[in-house]
Each structure stands twice: as structure tokens, then as C-alpha cells.
A and B are shown apart, each in its own frame.
Chain A
Amino acid sequence: MDIFGRLTIESLPFYSAIAASGAAVTVLGALSVAAVITYFGAWRLVVFQWLSSVDHKKIGIMYIMLALVMLVRGFVDAAMMRSQQAIALNSDGYLPPGHFDQIFSSHGTIMIFFMAMPFLSGLINLIMPQQIGSRDVAFPFMNAVSLWLSTAGAALVLISLVIGKFSTAGWTGYPPYSGLEFTPGVGVDYWIWAVLISGFGSTMTGINFLVTIIKCRAPGMTMFRMPLFTWTVFITSVLIIFAFPALTVACAMLALDRTLGMHFFTNGMGGNMMNYINLFWLWGHPEVYILILPAFGVFSEVVAVFSQKRLFGYISLVLATMAIGLLSFTVWLHHFFTMGSSARVNSFFGTMTTIIAVPTGVKVFDWLLTMYRGRIVFKPPLLFTIGFLVTFVIGGLSGVLLALPPIDYLMHNTTFLIAHFHNMIIPGVLFGYLAGYMFWFPKAFGFKLNEKWGTRAFWCWIVGFYVAFMPLYVLGLLGMPRRMEHYEIAAWQPHLIVAAFGAFIILLGMICLGVQLWVSIRDRKEALDLTGDPWNGRSLEWATSSPAAPYNFAVLPKVECRDAWWDMKQRGVAYQRPEKYEDIVMPKNTFAGAVIGAAGFAFGFAMIWWIWWLALLSLAVIGAAIIVRASNDDDEFVMPASEVKAIEDARFAQLAKAPKNAMEGEPGFAGQPAPEPAA
């Protein structure tokens, strides 16, 4: 009986048709993935080339696949919320009681922890080592562990749809409501352990990226020659390392409250919920910048490449990134001006918050000035960038308004706040990642994504965004609180119907993304990236082949200035065959990462359902995997120079067939990089 803890047959979702169909979709989704792999007879490839991989590029691709799956799941949640609110005037809507609360909790949790974080880690993994001219990240094995711990967290959120229920305490899990007294079920535990386990992965990712940037740069790649994307990753990694421990501590203490009956955040017995809220936002505010700084980095790369011009104000952009990173730790209290702090405290944190608008504003102007006197080619990544620039300043405006404590007193906890942070996160974070996805896709797979469908996706996303979220600003001014399952004020409904229609347009955007991927894979032969440099790029990731060889660079590049690859093309030293190749030492694949991830998942599941023997067993497995891996000195292999030469010869043969510049013939192409004429 006790062998399954508090897990019983009643935990299966047969109590409501909607919950049961959600579970069915989740299970069928997993089964169809397995079916597809079987159909293609690809199990051997998946298991031995991917699950066990420590290659940063493959890990990056797997991260992004995880992010895209979770994007779909998070979007379904959003669509359900919008449709519920569109009809729930003086009625209970179509969702069973308590279901809406789970949906808003899982939507936020998924989008932040399991869509944005993996997308970010994926893009960075894929590109950053190549941008700094490195063969790998500093700790390839730890990279795999991070991936599989993130996946374990995501799997816990997904499985909560099938076994048991998810949290109703929102993505922030505020106590005392999230304590045992008010939410005794497994929901909050699902949330805690998903966040805790993936948070471990994120912390290690931050350490990995930081060390990589500090220690693995190519010769000549000084800090102030690094591409801006790498700079933003550098600052983001620092933020991850400092911020995530706060989240880990807050969640662990909440878990102690719930599992061992402690009283850190309970109403009575000396507990204090204000401590949780402080700890949570000590992580939570830097987290916003953790997500958005790399997106700023993507915009910086994209705007320069597609304006065919140097990035304007490089030093300013770097300093602004640093300033944002520093300031992000000084503003957390603005998430709870309404907790009763004195005017002195609120004024300080309000002022610090408005100050962040300065470096952010600088960035916006520098990107605009990059386009000034450029030759702009409107590819989908640039469309997302322009859409971001225009839309983001509206979010900045509402953000500064909310930073003024007296206005926050009125607008806090209303849909105005919801509109504000979606106004930052959709155009800022998601558009950035989608721009990066379309920009760097050829680097990952060797062919370009379909531009027509990319453009359609962009227009659906941006129009859908305005139609879905501008009404929420209005509703906030009408006083509508967030998280309302139903309401009695008739004046709200028209706006909620418009917002639901906006969600429908965004659905079209999601479909366009899917079609784009499908069409691009089908027609890949017509969009092959033979040169490895499909956009006439500026930084070193475009110097490798597409997809890049396992070692990225056969010979490490020598960097002499910013825009290193552009400079090499200009000096005519790009694509040069080295005199001789050398042996390259590479990390061996290992299953230890995937084992730790699987055991992490089992541990989380056991802690949620109080299956103590399984918790101990999975901890033992994790410990054993670490010991075995750490005792193994034979974790590298040597790729002989002859093999490197074979791979590189094939590349040069392909280059010989390729056009001199992949952008040649594009309308708006400004010409090859050429030696500058004497002034």
C-alpha cells in the first residue's frame, strides 16, 4: 500500500473530460515520437548519437526541440485561458472548477522555465562556442547533465497532466497559499520539484558558459572583440550564477515546509511568507534579464548582418548590457511595492527600476542607428527584430509606469501587469529567440528555413500580439484583476473577446512556424547552405561549415578585430586551406548525463508522491553515475589528422561548387566584403 506513497488509482485524470483529453494528448504525443523513431529505424542513431552526446551543437539542438514542444504546450494553456475568459461573464465558462487555476500556473511555469530557459540554453550552446572560435564548451559532460536535468523538470510538468494535478498557486508559488494548509495535494510539489531540478541544470549551464567565455576564446579574441551575442551570454551567465541559488533556496525551503512540516513560510509558528517573496524575486527579477539579454544579443547580430553594416555603438551596447546586469539585482522589490514597505523603500526601488530604462533605451537607439545608412535586407530574422523594436518600447513605457509606486498600487495584480510583462517577453524574449532560430538554423542543419512561411509567421505573431494584449492594458485600466476564472462586469467582455481573437491569430503564427519547418525539411535541397555563411555574416560562427564539423574549427582562427569573419573575408584570408592538419582531442559520448537526468526525474516524482524508497534509490543512482563518470579517465578520444583532413577536403570540394557569396543575387545585396579603398 505505502509502496506507492500517496499515489492511487484516483490520481488518474478520469474525473473530467478536459483533463482526460489533455492526458491523452500528452501520452499520444510521447507514443507518436516513439513510433516515428521506430518507423525510420532510428533508435540506434537517437540513442548512440544524441542521448549520449556531449557535443554542444547536438545538445543545443535538443534544448531547442524541448523548447518548441513546451512552447506548443504553453500556448495551448494560453488559448484555453483566453477562451475561458471570453465566455465566462456571469457563467463558469467551459472549464471544470479548479482547472483554470492549474492552467494559469502551468502556462507561466512552462513558458519561463521550460520554453524560454531551454530555448536560451539551446541557442547559446549552438552558437556561442563557434562565435568565440572554440571547439566546445568548457565542460562538455556537465553540459549534458544540464540538458537532461532540464528535460527531467519539463517531463515532471508534462506528466502532471497524466498523473495527479498541477499547482494552482501560479508560476510564482506564493506562500502561504502554496503551503500544505491551503493546497494539500501534489500540485505545488510538482511545481517545486520541476523548478528545483531544472534549476540545478540552469545553474550548471551558467557556470559552463561563463568558464567557456573566459577560458576558451580563440587566439586574438579579446573581450572587446567578442560579438555582442557572446557579451550578452557572458553577462547572463553571471546573472544565472548569482540569481539561481536564491530560487533553489526558496523552493527547497518551501519543499521542507510541505514535505517535513517545517514553518519557513507558513502563516503561524513563526513562518513569514514575505521572506519567500523576497527570495523568489531576488531570483525572479534577474531572471527576466537572464532571458532577455541573449535575445538582445541576437538582435544585435541580426540587425548588423541584415543592414550589411557594422553594429553601431558596440562599446555603448556592451556597457549598457553590463549596467542592466548590475541594476537587475537592485530592483526586486518592485514586484511587491504593495506589501506595505515605507515610502522611502518604495521610492528607492522605484527609482532603481526607472534607471534600467536608460541602458535599455540606449540599446534601442543603437540598433536603430545600425539600420541608419545601411542596406537593409528584410529576411524573417530582421522582421522579428524590427517588430521587437517598435513593440518593445510600448512595453518599456508600461514598465516605467509600473515602476512608479503610486501607479503600481492601482495597477498591480491587474491585467495591465499581465499585458506589460507579455509585452516585454513576447517581442523581447520570444521574438529574439525566433529570430535566432531562423538566423542560425542553417548552421545547425545545413539548409535554410523557408522565408515565405517565416514572414507569414512573423506577421501572425506581431498582429496577434497586438490584438491579444492591447485589450489587456485596457482591461487593467478598467480594474480587471489577473487570474479571474469568471467575472460579473459586462464591460470587460468585449475586450476579452478581442483578446481571444488575438490568441487565435497567434495560433496561426504557431501553425506557420510548424509549416515552415515542414516545408523547409521537404524542400531542403533547394535551400542548402553550401558555404556555411548563408547571410554574408560577420562573426566566427559563419566561418565553420553548415552543419559544423564535430570539432567546429580544424585550425583555430586568429582574430584581429571585431567582426572577425567579415574582416577575414575583407582581407581575403577566409576559406583558406591550412598547410597541414593536426590531431584533435574530443570528448567521448557518455550515457551518464541521460542516466542522471532519468534518475533526477524519478527522484522528483518520488518526492512529489512521497515514495521514499524510490527517492533514495534514485539518489543512489545519481551518486553512482557521478562516481563512475568521475573515476573514468578514458573519457576522450583523438580524431586523427587524416580524418580531419578528409572532412575538410569534403568541405572544400563543396565550397568549390558553391557561389562565392550566398547572398549574391538577393535584392538589396550590397556586395562582397572587399578591401577598403584608400581614403
Chain B
Amino acid sequence: MTVKNARALRWQSCASTILAAAAAAVLCGGCSVLDGPVLSPSGPISLAQRDLLFKAVAIMMIVIVPVFVMAAIFTRRYRGTNRKARYTPNFDFYWPLEIIVWGVPAAIIVWLSLHLWHYTYQLDPYKEIDPSVKPLQVQAIAQDWKWLFVYPEQNIAVVNELAMPVNTPVSIAITSDTAMNSLVIPALGGQIYAMAGMQTRLNLLADKTGTFWGRNVQYSGRGFADQQFRTLAQPPADFDAWVEKVKQSRKALDATAYDALAKPSQKVPVTYFSGVEPGLFDKIIAKYSHGDSDRAPHHVNAGTTD
């Protein structure tokens, strides 16, 4: 009898240890994660993404909580040493239970799928955020190991800094002049791969001013860890001032300057270029695509940029 009790006690104390450890991990994570870019978003896209996250977690609790409860109750009540519990060694089928175990998860998945379709269309990175407003056009080019942002309408280019006016849609056309990269700004949304010879697109909007970090998140070699950039979401007047500041730069991004920039380099400081070689972005794509018409983006509703 004592042996049995010791066993049960050890089982319980171990179980409580694990619960405490899990709770501690969740709590210590909880305080800082709420301020993190994903759960405290700064744009409508990332906000909608977070709402979907919360909804999905909530609906799935319908299945997950019963699993925890059943696991706790069954392992305790039906432990072999508890001779008072009912024992039915041949109980292996009961059709109402079968209907529940198939039906409830299926119902949840139906609900979830409907939301999935709705949100996937709504938050399609290629979709223009507000068709009535002309978005700010930006072209992002992934290089080893930095990001080059070209503003074709302003005729400027910037390395490792992305400025945007607040509450204005931004449409970023993305390509790569190196290995595959992936562009994300966690506080605003993303991510989309950058691939040589191809153009992808990301539409974003910042509804709060601030400085957010963005980066490549697809491993691309030695300088990957430092391949990041600042995103400045500013009031329109500040953005215009920023554009003027960039235009003051004496460097221009002609073909020679571009080739020098495209060479592998790490921890590249923010660099401004006034004047960009016309059609630079398309030339970089053409360098790899050889005019392959299949590579042209098929459903770009934001329109091409030049």
C-alpha cells in the first residue's frame, strides 16, 4: 500500500513541477511578448493578422481544453491501483462518441476554413489596401547582405532604410540580385520572398508613426544575421523632408555605382542616393529572366511602376 501511495505521490509532484515550469515559461514570456511587433501591431494588415491569430486560438480551445482535462482525469481516475474505478476491458466502440470525435473537430475546421478564405483574400499581400488612394511605390532589391529601396517617383534610392508617410498605402515591388531572400517588417506585415529574375509584391500601411525594424528572414549566407533595415513611418511633412534630405545626397545610383553596391558586404550603413538609373529594377530582373514572359507577374493590380 505504501509503495502504491509513494508512486502516486511522485506522479503528482512531477506533474505539478511540469505545470509550474510551463506556467513560468508562459508568464515570463507573456510580459514582453505583448509589446512585441506581432501582438502589438502598427498597421491594419498586421492588426488583422493578429485578430485572426486570436480567433483561431480561441476556437481551437474547444478541442484542446478537453484533451488536457481528459488526460488529467483519466490518468488519475483510471490508474491501475484505483480498484474503485470502473473497468471495462472490452469497451472499444460507441457510436455517439465516434460522431463527437469526428464531428466536433470537423465543425471547427469548417468554421476556420471559412475564416481562412476570407482573411487570405482580404490580406493578400498583392492586394491594394485602398483602391481609391494611389499607393507610394517602392522597389526593394535584396543584395548580399543588405536591402536597396528605390523610390521611382521620387527618383531616389536608399540602402537599409525604408521611409513611408503614415496612413498612406505603400506598394513594394520585390526582387533579388542574389540568393532567395524574404522581406518582413513584423510590426506592419509581410513576408514575401525576393527571387532573382522575378517580381513579388507586398502592400503595407502604417497607421502609427514610429521606427520599426525589418529584415531578410530567409538564410542567405554569411552576412544574413546583420541584413536588417529601419522602417520610418512618419507624418507626410516629415516624409517629404526625408525625401529632400535624400535628394541632397551627392551620390547617384548609376550602373557603375550599382555594380559596386551589389558586391557582397556586411553591416552596410544607411546610404542615400539621389538620382537612380532609369529602369534599374526591371534591368535587374531582366538580367536573370532573359525576357521569359512566364516570369512577368500575373496578377499585379497595383500596376507596374515605370
Asked if A637 lies at the interface with its beta carbon under 8 angstroms from chain B, I say no
22 example contacts (A-B, Cβ-Cβ < 8 A) are as follows A97-B222, A176-B180, A177-B180, A316-B98, A340-B193, A347-B116, A347-B121, A354-B116, A365-B67, A372-B91, A373-B91, A374-B78, A375-B80, A389-B67, A394-B64, A404-B56, A410-B189, A410-B191, A466-B22, A467-B25, A479-B213, A676-B90
Q: Which of B67-90 contact A (CB under 8 A)?
A: 67-68, 70-71, 74-75, 78-81, 85-90
Stretch binding the partner chain, chosen from B122-130, B162-170, B255-263: B122-130
Partner-binding segment picked from A64-72, A145-153, A306-314, A608-616: A306-314
Residues of A near B28 (CB, < 8 A) are 494, 498
B157 within 8 A of partner (CB) = no
Q: Does A668 contact B (CB under 8 A)?
A: yes
| Interface hit among A235-243, A266-274, A439-447, A573-581 | A266-274
Give the residues from 227 to 252 in chain B that come closer than 8 angstroms, CB to CB, to chain A: none
Q: Does A413 contact B (CB under 8 A)?
A: yes
A362 at interface by CB-CB < 8 Å: yes
In the complex, are the beta carbons of A406 and B52 less than 8 A apart?
A: yes
**Contacts A389-B67, A413-B191, A669-B80 hold; do A463 and B116 have CB atoms under 8 A apart?**
no
A477 is contacted by which of B39, B70, B75, B290 (Cβ under 8 Å)?
B39
B205-241 contact mask (Cβ, 8 Å, vs A): 1 or 0: 0000000010101111110110000000000000000
Q: Which of B86-126 contact A (CB under 8 A)?
A: 86-93, 97-98, 100-102, 105-106, 109, 112-113, 115-117, 119-126
Residue ID in chain B nearest A474 by CB atoms: B29
| Bound CA span A414–B215, Å | 12
Given contacts A177-B180, A316-B102, A393-B63, contact A481 B215 (CB under 8 A): yes
Please measure, in the bound complex, the distance between the C-alpha atom of A494 and the C-alpha atom of B11, giving whole angstroms: 30
B71 in complex: contacting residue of A386, A401, A478, A667, CB < 8 Å:
A386
| 363-387 of chain A: CB within 8 A of chain B | 364-366, 368-369, 371-378, 386
Give A257 to B32 CA distance when docked, in angstroms: 46
Which of A24-32, A157-165, A210-218, A485-493 binds B?
Answer: A485-493
The 8 closest A-B pairs by CB, nearest first: A668-B80, A474-B29, A479-B186, A361-B105, A177-B179, A310-B92, A413-B217, A481-B217
Please measure, in the bound complex, the distance between the C-alpha atom of A347 and the C-alpha atom of B158, giving whole angstroms.
35
B196 touches A406 (CB 8 A): no
Distance between Cα atoms of A474 and B39 in the complex (Å): 10
Cα(A478)–Cα(B39), bound, Å? 8
Beta-carbon contact of A168 and B221 below 8 Å: yes
Min CB gap A109→B, angstroms: 14
Q: Report how far A357 CA is from B290 CA in the complex, Å.
A: 43
Closest to B10 in A: A455
Q: Is B33 an interface residue (CB 8 A)?
A: yes
The residue that B292 contacts in the complex, of A168, A270, A407, with Cβ under 8 A, is: A270
Nearest B residue to A414 via CB reads B217
Q: Which of A182, A343, A354, A393 contacts B109 (CB 8 A)?
A: A354
Q: A390-B68, A466-B25, A478-B37 are in contact. Are A373 and B85 (CB under 8 A)?
A: yes
In this assembly, does B156 line the interface, its C-beta being within 8 Å of a C-beta of chain A? no
A396 to B57, CA, bound (A): 11
Q: A354-B112, A354-B113, A467-B25 are in contact. Are A397 and B219 (CB under 8 A)?
A: no
When C-beta atoms are compared, the residue in chain B nearest to A306 turns out to be B80
Among B60, B87, B121, B178, point to the contact of A375 (Cβ < 8 A). B87
Candidate in A168, A343, A470 with the most chain B CB atoms within 10 angstroms = A343
Q: Mark A503-542, 1 if CB is under 8 A from B, else 0.
A: 0000000000000000000000000000000000000000
Q: Quick check: is A101 within 8 A (CB to CB) of the other chain?
A: yes
Given A378-B11, A406-B120, A177 contacting B220 (CB threshold 8 A): yes
B89, A670: Cβ atoms closer than 8 Å: yes
* Neighbour of B106 across the interface among A358, A394, A476, A498, CB < 8 A: A358
Contacts of B85 in A (CB 8 A): 373, 375
Bound-complex Cα distance A476 to B26 (A): 13
Question: How far in angstroms is the closest Cβ of chain A from B71?
Answer: 5
Q: Which residues of B contact A (CB under 8 A)?
A: 3-4, 7, 11, 14, 17-18, 21-22, 25-26, 28-29, 32-33, 36-39, 46, 48-49, 52-53, 56-57, 60, 63-64, 67-68, 70-71, 74-75, 78-81, 85-93, 97-98, 100-102, 105-106, 109, 112-113, 115-117, 119-127, 178-180, 182, 184, 186, 189-193, 195-198, 200-201, 213, 215, 217-222, 224-225, 287-288, 290, 292, 298-299
Nearest B residue (CB) for A345: B120
Chain A contributes a number of interface residues (CB within 8 A of B) equal to 108
Q: How far apart sit A316 and B190, CA to CA, in the bound complex (Å)? A: 40
Known contacts: A357-B109, A406-B49. The answer to whether A340 contacts B87 by CB under 8 A is no
Known: A101-B219, A477-B38. A338 touches B57 (CB 8 A): no
User: In chain A, residues 388-432, which have Cβ atoms closer than 8 Å to a Cβ of chain B?
Assistant: 389-390, 393-394, 396-397, 400-401, 403-407, 409-414
> Min CB distance, B101 to chain A, in Å?
4
- B122 → A minimal CB distance (Å): 8
A429 to chain B, nearest CB (A): 19
A471 to B249: give the CA distance in the assembly, Å: 44
Q: Is the CB of B217 within 8 A of A470?
A: no
Q: List residues 244-279 of chain A with CB under 8 A from any CB of chain B.
A: 267-270, 273-274
| Given A374-B87, A410-B190, A400:B112 Cβ within 8 A | yes
Q: Does A482 contact B (CB under 8 A)?
A: yes
Say how far B245's CB is from chain A's closest CB, in angstroms: 25
For A410, give its contact among B49, B116, B218, B288 (CB under 8 Å): B49
A350 at the B interface (CB under 8 A)? yes
Q: Could you say which residues of chain A place their CB within 8 Å of the CB of B288?
A: 267-268
Q: How far is the CA of A412 from the CA of B183 in the complex (A)?
A: 11
Interchain CA distance A414-B67 in the complex, whole Å: 28
Q: Does A288 contact B (CB under 8 A)?
A: no
Q: Which of B14, B75, B287 contacts A371 (CB 8 A)?
A: B75
Residue A200 lies at the interface, judged by CB distance under 8 Å to chain B: no
* Residues A404 and B119 in contact, CB atoms below 8 Å apart: yes
Known: A410-B191, A471-B29. 7 other contacts (CB 8 A): A312-B92, A314-B92, A339-B192, A340-B201, A351-B113, A413-B217, A667-B4
A406 and B32 contact, CB distance less than 8 A: no
Contact B217 A350 (CB under 8 A): no
Of the residues B90, B116, B178, B191, contact of A409 by C-beta under 8 Å:
B191
Cα of A485 to Cα of B56 in the assembled complex, Å: 32
Residues of A within 8 A of B57 (CB): 397, 401
A311 CA to B192 CA in the complex, in Å? 46
Contact of B33 among A274, A396, A474 (CB under 8 A): A474
- Give bound CA distance, A361 to B184, whole Å: 33
Given contacts A101-B219, A361-B105, contact A462 B81 (CB under 8 A): no
> B193: which of A175, A267, A269, A336 is its contact (CB, 8 Å)?
A336
CB pair A273–B80 under 8 Å, yes or no, is: no
Contact indicator per residue, chain A 294-315, by CB within 8 Å of chain B (1) or not (0): 0000000000000111111111
The verdict on A365 contacting B101 (CB below 8 Å), with A310-B89, A495-B29 known, is: yes
Give Cα A666 to B92, complex, Å: 24
Tell me the nearest residue of chain B to A88, going by C-beta: B225
For A471, what are the chain B residues with a Cβ–Cβ distance below 8 Å? 25, 29
* A657 CB to nearest chain B CB (Å): 26
A174 touches B180 (CB 8 A): yes
Residues of chain B within 8 A of A413, CB atoms compared: 182, 184, 191, 217-218
